[in-house]
Amino acid sequence: MGSIPQRRSRNWRSLAALAAGGVLITATACSTPEAGGGGEDGGKEGPFTIGVSNGFIGSEWREQMLATLQKDFDEYKSDGVVDELVVESADVDVNGQIKQIRNLIKSDVDAIIVNPNSPTALDKVFGEAADQGIKIVAIDQAVESKDVTNVVIDQGEWASISAEWLAEEVGDGGEIIAVNGIDGHPANEARWEGAKKVFDDAGVKVAANDYGNWDQATGQQVTKDLLASHPDVDGIFVQDGMALGAFQALESEKKVGDIAITGEARVGFMKRWQEQREGDGDFTSIGVPNPPSVSVSALHVVVRMLEGKKFGDSLEGNSVYLPIPETVTDENFDEQFDAVKDEPDTYAVDHSVTAKEADDYFQ
């Protein structure tokens, strides 16, 4: 089995030889054979090697994130823009992700796309990467490091969409329970902050709040327990990745239709939603897509960064906020469901910016 670094160094050697022979016409001044030797501001010579660091593999969402990335990467590859996608993906803690990123740095990647496990604890290793001239893009959740460009959706806004729907359903003075993701997780905190504000403003009381780790089975158990201790609530706020489980808990308590529940834009849940629509006209729900293909959007952005393009006014702080895709509602359900119903149950309704839309982020 050929090793990655050996292949890489061969590529670089041949590139250097070409450059020395004057065959390769360099548009910019820098073509040093050392990895990451590109200038801070000028563009580099392709093809680029892109590293990926993913620190959590317990969800189908992450698999879809990696699979769609690989697909679009292959398109860039056939165009000669990029050459290799080095993937580090495993269940790791912060230390493990620091190791992942160091491995990527040492594999001479030109850029790293990272789904970070911590908003702050990777700052120093991001600094190490930036020192080597590596561009870093964080997806799914934002980090604070100035060495990183976040390509994310606004998680607070994402959660407030379904929270507003639920607040409307239960009305002023209504009582709800909340099934959130992972306690202390940055995306979870941002989401709950957004949702909680909506509930407070609407006079909705949160009777209890627990965590289902973005896992359907855990979400089902947590919902069941919360329903047992709070049988009289009017609604359930549940984050994506757990809504199907929460719905099943509601079903086993025979309370579907009595208690309003936020849904998710995933095929498994949408199938149940469809059944309810066919059976009982009263059932209503909402699914706000959280697109796994944020990885693809990030790829478009990072390639342009490597080419030396400068951001326009799309950058807020160090973040580029992607549009949140159209919400799945009772009104547009049939159309949305038709588009994805042949996908596996775990498939999440997806969206990424196109290469052309990504161009608009830059000057």
Binding site for another protein (CB under 8 A): 1-6, 8-9, 87-90, 93-96, 98-99, 102-103, 105-108, 118-125, 128, 132, 184, 186, 189
Cα–Cα distance for residue pair 277/54, rounded to 1 Å: 37
Instruction: Kindly state the smallest distance separating residue 279's Cβ from another protein, in Å.
Output: 40
Q: Which is nearer to another protein, 21 or 184 (CB)?
A: 184
Take residue 281 and report the two structure tokens written for it: 């006209």
Instruction: Kindly state the smallest distance separating residue 120's Cβ from another protein, in Å.
Output: 4
Q: What is the 3-state secondary structure (H, E, C) of 66-132?
A: HHHHHHHHHHHHHCCCEEEEEEEECCCCHHHHHHHHHHHHHCCCCEEEEECCCCCCCHHHHHHHHHC
Instruction: List the Cα angle 78/323/161 in 5-degree steps.
Output: 140
Q: Which is nearer to another protein, 99 or 277 (CB)?
A: 99
Instruction: Kindly state the smallest distance separating residue 129's Cβ from another protein, in Å.
Output: 10
Q: Are 240 and 264 in contact (CB under 8 A)?
A: yes
Q: Which is nearer to another protein, 134 or 349 (CB)?
A: 134
Residues in the chain: 363
Take residue 226 and report the two structure tokens written for it: 């919360």
Instruction: Kindly state the smallest distance separating residue 351's Cβ from another protein, in Å.
Output: 25
Instruction: Kindly state the smallest distance separating residue 102's Cβ from another protein, in Å.
Output: 5
Instruction: Kindly state the smallest distance separating residue 108's Cβ from another protein, in Å.
Output: 8
Identify whether 47 is preceded by a cis peptide bond (ω within 30 of 0). yes
Indicate the Cα dihedral angle 268, 274, 277, 282, nearest 10°.
Answer: 20
Q: Are 247 and 183 in contact (CB under 8 A)?
A: no
Q: What is the DSSP letter of 52?
A: E
Q: Which is nearer to another protein, 2 or 21 (CB)?
A: 2
Cα–Cα distance for residue pair 72/100, rounded to 1 Å: 22
Take residue 41 and report the two structure tokens written for it: 């501001």
Instruction: Kindly state the smallest distance separating residue 324's Cβ from another protein, in Å.
Output: 24
Q: Which long-range contacts does 340-343 make (Cβ < 8 Å, 24+ apart)?
A: 340/267, 340/270, 341/267, 341/270, 341/271, 341/274, 343/267
Indicate the Cα dihedral angle 125, 126, 132, 136, nearest 10°.
Answer: 150
Instruction: Kindly state the smallest distance separating residue 178's Cβ from another protein, in Å.
Output: 17
Q: Which is nearer to another protein, 99 or 224 (CB)?
A: 99
Q: Which is nearer to another protein, 7 or 341 (CB)?
A: 7
Give the H or E element holding residue 347.
Answer: none
Q: Which is nearer to another protein, 4 or 24 (CB)?
A: 4
Q: Which is nearer to another protein, 125 or 179 (CB)?
A: 125
Q: Which is nearer to another protein, 132 or 209 (CB)?
A: 132
Instruction: Kindly state the smallest distance separating residue 231's Cβ from another protein, in Å.
Output: 30
Cα–Cα distance for residue pair 50/63, rounded to 1 Å: 18
Cα–Cα distance for residue pair 62/293, rounded to 1 Å: 10
